[in-house]
Amino acid sequence: MAIDYSQRIPNNVDLSGDRRLQRALENWQPRFLDWWKDMGPDGTVNFDVYLRTAISADANGWANFGYVKMPDYRWGIFLAGQDPNRVIAFGDNKGKPAWQEVPGELRSTLRRLIVTQGDTEPASVEQQRQLGKTAPSLYDLRNLFQVNVEEGRHLWAMVYLLHAYFGRDGREEAEAMLERHSGDPDKPRILGAFNEKTPDWLSFFMFTYFTDRDGKYQLASLAESGFDPLSRSCRFMLIEEAHHMFVGESGVGRIVQRTCELMKQHKTDDVRALGAIDLATIQKYLNFHFSVSLDLFGQEASTNAANYYTQGVKGRYLETRLEDDHLLTNATYDIDTAEDGRIIRKTVPALAALNERLRQDYIEDCSRGLVRWNRTIEQAGIDFELRLPHRAFNRRIGAFADLHVSPDGKVLSESEWKAGEGKWLPTVEDRTYVTALMGPAIVELGKYANWIAPPSRGINNQPGDFEYVRFN
């Protein structure tokens, strides 16, 4: 499916055929560009960046690489191809044709889901606004910018849906997404993880590994939606999201690799003295970002999640590949929850447990990256293993929010928690050290900061000394 770049707003939805919608989005576009200028990557307006840009909505050959100034990036509205025979795969509307318009009784529900997803996209750009100034290499700087522009395009995807299908309410919600800002005390972003700071590259890599992975699972669930335009938007977004998680996994992996190299070379665990990040600190950052990201899935037992499923607006991960009745009326699911200050295993209706089932899919996916990171540590002959903490650790939302739980799942008193917190989560000293390690951006071709290893290969198979960013 080709994308029309001849228009002011590139798209594959025949925007020129709807003059009212086209005018509304063309009115929103300069506001978006003002937001990018004010809240996007700082001081980068004139940089030429080697970026990929979508040229079709097909999974194969959809990206074109070339130098682009980020304000000139071809943001637009790209949906995956339409299946005219698609039917709703789950819930009370199972087997009925997918909706091409918003059912009146689901208008509020769908708008809330779209706004919540859309709000995360500009939030992460805002969180990462200053990171380019401390980039460990041109390769990493380019990857940061690629993530940023694609998050901007994902915002466009949700804004299109709001303008096209939700009338005045949708237009107002689209405006509000540019008025909220990450960490703003008066107008914060909707979800807590997107109000956290991303002050350093270890945090960035953890964010793109853990928090963007939550995005993968939320998008995949919405891609099952009976509202076909939302499904098609999310399916295209998932293609781009894969690179964001690659940036996170490979970034953490390269930090682990460099730390192990220095430990082995100098026969010491004290790599801070060598200007690197020790494995214990990496584990603390892992604990923090994983636990914060778990909160994004919501309550363990949720009436809202059950209603979304029954109504056909949000499915399970890879819904159509699951072998059951896709109604779940009489099905059950076992979850961990809290009761009388204890962690217990409880059987609940499967419909109520949909958040927890999605969280479990996410946890299993997260664990695969740790296998690869731990293989690097093991091959270096180092006796250390990175681990995911217990799902109840450091939670602020859900059944475990009022419990103090250690990484291995032991319920603690408040005094026990305070005694161990500095061993499990980044301290002020840890964050000060990591932030100080970042230093000015490394902009020499083929050079990398001392605390991170080079990648195994370049973007689009470019050589190690490729000029990913040109400073003008």
- CB 249, CB 120: distance < 8 Å: no
Range with lowest mean pLDDT among 4-18, 29-43, 117-131: 4-18
Check: CB of residue 324 under 8 Å from CB of residue 366.
Answer: no
pLDDT digits (tens, 9 = 90+) for 23-47: 999 999 999 999 999 999 999 999 9
Confidence of residue 62 (pLDDT cuts 50, 70, 90): low
Residue 227 tokens read as: 């509202």
At 2, is the secondary structure helix, strand, or coil?
Answer: strand
What count of other Cβ atoms lies within 10 Å of the Cβ of residue 170? Answer: 23
Helix (H/G/I), strand (E/B), else coil: 170: helix
Q: How far is CA 302 from the centre of its chain?
A: 22
Q: Using 50, 70 and 90 to split pLDDT, how confident is the model at 127?
A: very high
278-301: average pLDDT: 97
Three-state secondary structure call for residue 463:
coil
pLDDT score of 225: 98
Strand 411-412, strand 404-405: pairing: antiparallel
Which letter does DSSP use for residue 450 in this model?
T
Residue 237: its pLDDT value, please? 94
Mean pLDDT, rounded, for 210-230: 97
H/E stretch holding 235? helix 228-266
When pLDDT is cut at 50, 70 and 90, the band that residue 149 belongs to is very high
Q: Are 52 and 231 in contact, with CB atoms under 8 Å apart?
A: no
| 3-class DSSP state of 82 | coil
pLDDT digit string, tens, across residues 170-189: 999 999 999 999 999 999 99
Res 19: pLDDT = 94
pLDDT at 60 over 70: no
H-type helices in 166-227, by residue range? 167-179, 201-206, 212-222
Q: CA 381 to CA 375: how far, in whole Å?
A: 10
Give the per-residue pLDDT at 64: 87
Over residues 152-172, the pLDDT tens digits come to 999 999 999 999 999 999 999
Q: Indicate whether 61 pLDDT > 60.
A: no
Q: What percent of the chain has pLDDT over 70?
A: 98
User: Is residue 1 pLDDT above 70, yes or no?
Assistant: no
Placement of tokens 């999310």 in the chain: 234
160/195 Cα distance (integer angstroms): 24
29 vs 8, 25, 123, 174, CA distance in Å?
9, 6, 18, 11
**Integer angstrom CA distances of residue 472 from 46, 141, 187, 371, 439:** 6, 15, 35, 41, 22
Q: How far apart are CA 64 and CA 76, in angstroms?
A: 15
Across 88-115, average pLDDT = 98
- % pLDDT > 90, the chain: 94
- Which pLDDT does position 76 carry in this prediction? 87
Give φ, ψ of 120 to 5 degrees: -70, -25
Banded model confidence at residue 8, pLDDT cuts 50, 70, 90: confident
H/E element holding 125? Answer: helix 107-127
Strands (E), 300-455: 332-339, 342-349, 404-405, 411-412
Averaged pLDDT score across all residues of the chain:
96
Q: Which H or E element spans position 411?
A: strand 411-412
Enter the tokens of residue 327. Answer: 């109604």
Question: Distance (Å, rounded) from C-alpha 400 to C-alpha 339?
Answer: 9
- Regarding pTM above 0.85, the answer is yes
* AA identity, residue 28: W
Residue 162: strand, helix, or coil: helix
Residue 219 pLDDT class (50, 70, 90 cuts): very high
pLDDT digits (tens, 9 = 90+) for 322-376: 999 999 999 999 999 999 999 999 999 999 999 999 999 999 999 999 999 999 9
The CA angle 76-81-85, to the nearest 5 degrees, is: 145
- Alpha helices, DSSP H, located in 313-409: 354-379
Query: Which of 133 and 61 is assigned the larger pLDDT?
Result: 133
What pLDDT score was predicted for residue 291? 98
CA distances from 182 to 36, 185, 196 (A): 14, 9, 7
Q: How confident is the model at residue 93 (pLDDT cuts 50, 70, 90)?
A: very high
Range with the poorest average pLDDT among 59-68, 105-114, 133-142, 429-438: 59-68
Whether 20 has a pLDDT exceeding 90, the answer reads: yes
Buried residues in 86-99 as b, exposed as e (16+ CB within 10 A): eebbbbebeeeebb
Domains and CATH numbers, the chain: 15-470 (1.10.620.20)
The stretch 290-318 carries a mean pLDDT of 97
